[in-house]
Amino acid sequence: MQKITAAILISSMLVLSACATVKGAGRDIESVGQAGQDAID
């Protein structure tokens, strides 16, 4: 469980560091939400 949590935290840090601005982070979060919605549909 700790390894999974660590992997998620590291992945999150990498994704957030790739976003230069808050606006970019918002777009990234929106695209993840859209991808999840598309997968459900």
Residue 19 has pLDDT above 60, yes or no: no
Q: Hey, where are the domains in the chain?
A: 2-40
- In Å, what is the CA distance from 5 to each residue of 1, 32, 33? 6, 19, 21
Mean pLDDT of the residues in the chain = 77
Residue 22 has pLDDT above 70, yes or no: no
Give the integer Cα–Cα distance in Å for 2 and 13: 16
What pLDDT, on the 0 to 100 scale, is given for residue 20? 60
The per-residue pLDDT for 34 is: 84
Three-state SS letters, 1-41 = CHHHHHHHHHHHHHHHHHCCCHHHHHHHHHHHHHHHHHHHC
Distance CA 34, CA 4 (A): 24
